[in-house]
């Protein structure tokens, strides 16, 4: 067994690591060192094996830790892991400290595993609109705005990871997709999948045969689920439908969307900055918030489809002061 990399300083570092004396950058660095240094990793494994032989530390606080340390020390000596100048350094460390290290390492491994899983498998959010006349509006983590029609559900991740931004739709919604050339936006329905980079369109799909896409801006790619050879690219002014297991594309002069036919706007636990952004997109207004703390405040509210009413409700709800600029910009700030 090689011993070149096992120096007294390393034992001292291990002691600092397991006793919690290292700051976060040092802990990260030393964890990487343990992962890369086979000698130190082997030493830690030897320690753990001997500790395990003494019994379950967590369930039996009366274990003979001195016996475990004697076994470990003898094994290190037999494997020539102890030199004359290192011996005194090693024996100064109490076995209880190493047991504490085992607990810390086990906890760190479990937490990092859970954290890693949660990062790459973020929690899913299912937003449903079961109202009669309200249009539920939400802003996704990437800045995409969705106008969800009645009797519809959108499912998405709290954080987009991977090479694409995937959501699922059952029902009808208007999408104003934030541009991201590196990460396409993919909508999965029972009938077909839709792929875009950044555009706006209305999409309706309630089952495996019902599908209707109306493109307002940009380009949209459509792939039929039941026939992988059926795919089209639609541009602004195109409507795409399914018929006889095929995709039909046609040009239309105008079409009604979820966004254009709203009666009431409903927001559920949305930040004020997202609501203001939606209002500006919907009405072509120029509302601005003054103050970072104000932007992050959240509210659940339903508005009539009238910008004056919306601004009044917001000003009363948050005790805001309105300042009208000459260029028609309205500044909202706390009184």
Whole-structure pTM value: 0.65
Higher pLDDT, 324 or 73: 324
Q: Do 114 and 132 lie in a common domain?
A: no
Which band of pLDDT confidence, cut at 50, 70 and 90, is reported for residue 101? low
6, 37 Cβ separation under 8 angstroms? no
Instruction: Report d(CA 268, CA 273) in Å as an integer.
Output: 13
Higher pLDDT, 17 or 307: 307
Q: What pLDDT does residue 292 have?
A: 87
pLDDT exceeds cutoff 60 at 199: yes
Instruction: Report d(CA 314, CA 94) in Å as an integer.
Output: 63
183 in a structural domain: yes
Q: Do 72 and 24 lie in a common domain?
A: yes
Please, what is the end-to-end C-alpha distance for the chain in angstroms? 72
Domain encompassing residue 52: 8-120
Counted domains in the chain: 3
State the residue for tokens 């906890």. 107
Q: Do 277 and 163 lie in a common domain?
A: no
Q: In sequence order, what are the residues at sequence separation of 6 or more whose Cβ sits closer than 8 angstroms to the Cβ of residue 333?
A: 289, 290, 291, 294, 320, 321, 323
314, 298 Cβ separation under 8 angstroms? no
Which band of pLDDT confidence, cut at 50, 70 and 90, is reported for residue 257? very high
Which band of pLDDT confidence, cut at 50, 70 and 90, is reported for residue 92? very low
Extract the tokens encoding 110: 């479990």
CATH label of the domain that carries residue 272: 3.55.50.30
Q: What pLDDT does residue 36 have?
A: 74
Higher pLDDT, 25 or 241: 241
Q: Do 271 and 233 lie in a common domain?
A: no
Which band of pLDDT confidence, cut at 50, 70 and 90, is reported for residue 14? low
- The distance between the two most distant Cα atoms of the chain, rounded to a whole number of Å, is 90
Q: Which of 78-82, 89-93, 94-98, 237-241 has the highest mean pLDDT?
A: 237-241
Give bridge partners of residue 302 from the DSSP assignment.
266
Q: What pLDDT does residue 18 have?
A: 53
Q: Do 129 and 91 lie in a common domain?
A: no
Instruction: Report d(CA 108, CA 9) in Å as an integer.
Output: 23
Q: Do 273 and 244 lie in a common domain?
A: no
- How are beta strands 330-334 and 264-271 bridged, if at all? unpaired
| DSSP tally for the chain: helices H, then strands E | 9, 18
297 in a structural domain: yes
Q: What pLDDT does residue 61 have?
A: 43
Distance of CA 266 to the CA centre of its chain: 24
Of 60-74, 98-112, 221-235, the range with the lowest mean pLDDT is 60-74
Q: Which segments of the chain does DSSP mark as H helices, in order?
A: 8-18, 24-36, 38-53, 65-78, 84-91, 95-120, 272-283, 292-295, 307-317
pLDDT exceeds cutoff 70 at 9: no
- Find the mean pLDDT for residues 215-233: 94
- Find the mean pLDDT for residues 243-257: 91
CATH label of the domain that carries residue 203: 2.60.120.1440
User: Given CA atoms 33, 38, 39, 45 in this order, what sign does their dihedral have?
Assistant: positive
pLDDT, one tens digit per residue, over 132-158 is 889 999 999 999 999 999 999 999 998
3 in a structural domain: no
Query: In residues, how long is the chain?
Result: 335
Closest CA to 154 of 122, 187, 185, 123: 187
167 in a structural domain: yes
Q: Do 230 and 302 lie in a common domain?
A: no
Q: Do 130 and 227 lie in a common domain?
A: yes
pLDDT, one tens digit per residue, over 278-305 is 999 999 999 999 988 899 899 999 999 9
Q: Do 240 and 324 lie in a common domain?
A: no
304 in a structural domain: yes
Q: Do 282 and 233 lie in a common domain?
A: no
Q: What pLDDT does residue 167 have?
A: 96
Extract the tokens encoding 166: 């995937």
Q: What pLDDT does residue 39 have?
A: 74
Q: Which residue, 227, 251, 275, sits at the end of a domain?
A: 251
Q: What pLDDT does residue 186 have?
A: 96
Closest CA to 91 of 63, 72, 109: 72
Q: Which residue, 105, 120, 135, sits at the end of a domain?
A: 120
2 in a structural domain: no
Q: What pLDDT does residue 10 have?
A: 58
Extract the tokens encoding 40: 């130190």
- Cα-atom radius of gyration of the chain, to the nearest Å? 31
pLDDT exceeds cutoff 50 at 108: yes
On average, the pLDDT of the chain sits at 79
Q: Do 225 and 313 lie in a common domain?
A: no
- Find the mean pLDDT for residues 177-191: 94
State the residue for tokens 């011996």. 87
Distance of CA 162 to the CA centre of its chain: 10
Q: What pLDDT does residue 73 have?
A: 52
259 in a structural domain: no
pLDDT exceeds cutoff 70 at 212: yes
Q: Do 247 and 274 lie in a common domain?
A: no
Q: Which residue, 204, 229, 251, sits at the end of a domain?
A: 251
Q: What pLDDT does residue 291 have?
A: 84
1 in a structural domain: no
């Amino acid at each position: 067994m090689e011993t070149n990399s096992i120096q007294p300083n390393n034992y001292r570092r291990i002691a600092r690591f397991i006793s919690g004396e290292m700051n976060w950058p040092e802990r990260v660095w030393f964890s990487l060192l343990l992962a890369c240094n086979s000698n130190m990793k082997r030493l830690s494994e030897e320690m753990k094996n001997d500790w395990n032989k003494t019994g379950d530390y967590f369930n039996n606080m009366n274990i003979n830790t001195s016996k475990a340390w004697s076994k470990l020390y003898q094994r290190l000596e037999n494997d020539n892991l102890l030199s004359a100048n290192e011996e005194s350094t090693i024996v100064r460390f109490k076995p209880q400290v190493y047991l504490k290290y085992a607990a810390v390492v086990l906890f760190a491994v479990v937490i990092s595993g859970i954290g890693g899983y949660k990062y790459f498998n973020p929690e899913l959010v299912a937003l449903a609109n079961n109202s009669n006349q309200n249009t539920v509006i939400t802003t996704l983590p990437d800045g995409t705005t969705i106008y969800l029609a009645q009797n519809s559900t959108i499912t998405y991740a709290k954080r987009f990871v991977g090479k694409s931004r995937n959501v699922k739709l059952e029902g009808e919604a208007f999408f104003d997709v934030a541009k991201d050339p590196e990460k396409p936006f993919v909508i999965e329905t029972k009938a077909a999948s839709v792929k875009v980079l950044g555009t706006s369109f209305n999409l309706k799909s309630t089952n495996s045969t019902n599908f209707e896409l109306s493109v307002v801006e940009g380009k949209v790619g459509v792939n039929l689920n039941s026939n992988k050879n059926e795919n089209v690219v639609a541009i602004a002014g195109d409507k795409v439908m399914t018929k006889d297991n095929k995709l039909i594309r046609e040009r239309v002069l105008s079409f009604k969307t979820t966004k254009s036919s709203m009666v009431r706007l409903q927001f559920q636990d949305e930040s004020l900055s997202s609501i203001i952004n939606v209002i500006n997109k919907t009405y072509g207004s120029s509302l601005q918030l003054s103050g970072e703390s104000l932007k992050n405040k959240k509210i659940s509210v339903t508005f009539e489809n009238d910008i004056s009413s919306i601004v009044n409700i917001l000003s009363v709800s948050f005790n805001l002061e309105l300042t009208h600029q000459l260029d028609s910009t309205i500044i909202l700030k706390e009184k």
